[in-house]
Amino acid sequence: MVMPCAHWRVPKAPRPWILVSLPIPSRRPPPAFAARATRARADAQAIAGAVRQYQATFGALPDSIADLTEARTVSGTTGGPFLARVPTPPNGFTPYQYAKQGDLNFTVTSSGGGVSVTAP
């Protein structure tokens, strides 16, 4: 039997490296939800545009979203309908809410999945 020299070392087996892949949470919603949020935002802007047309025609804000879907005569001025129908919100979103804020300002909102859309 041969004895190893003091300066001779037995090589150790290489240590296996373990690569771990950790998912990094994204702050962006998934693409399908982002598309629904974009649609909800576009619908809210369309409703807000109809409210502005109503206001330009009659000189006042409508009392509700339903007022936008009917022809009306106010103080001798006839106008409308300004929307054919109130848009149906995308899946996961609440129905569109219209709120007057004084005589000149208003908001149209809907929310879903932690995202809220508001117009104007």
Look at the chain and count its residues.
120
Tens of pLDDT, residues 43-58: 999 999 999 999 999 9
Domain-located, residue 70: yes
Domain-located, residue 1: no
- Element at 73 (helix H, strand E): strand 72-74
Structure confidence at residue 33 (pLDDT): 80
Tens of pLDDT, residues 59-87: 999 999 999 999 999 889 999 899 999 99
- Element at 119 (helix H, strand E): strand 115-119
Domain-located, residue 19: no
What domain range is 48 assigned to?
32-119
Domain-located, residue 100: yes
Domain-located, residue 24: no
Number of folded domains that form the chain: 1
Angle, vertex CA 27, rays to CA 24 and CA 33, nearest 5: 115
- The answer to whether 31 and 80 have CB atoms below 8 angstroms apart is no
- Is the pLDDT at 4 greater than 70? The verdict is no
Structure confidence at residue 116 (pLDDT): 94
Domain-located, residue 67: yes
Tens of pLDDT, residues 22-39: 676 666 656 778 899 999
Domain-located, residue 102: yes
Domain-located, residue 7: no
Q: Lowest mean pLDDT: which of 16-20, 69-73, 93-97, 112-116?
A: 16-20
Query: CA–CA distance from 26 to each of 29, 37, 38 (Å)?
Result: 7, 17, 18
The structure's pTM equals: 0.73
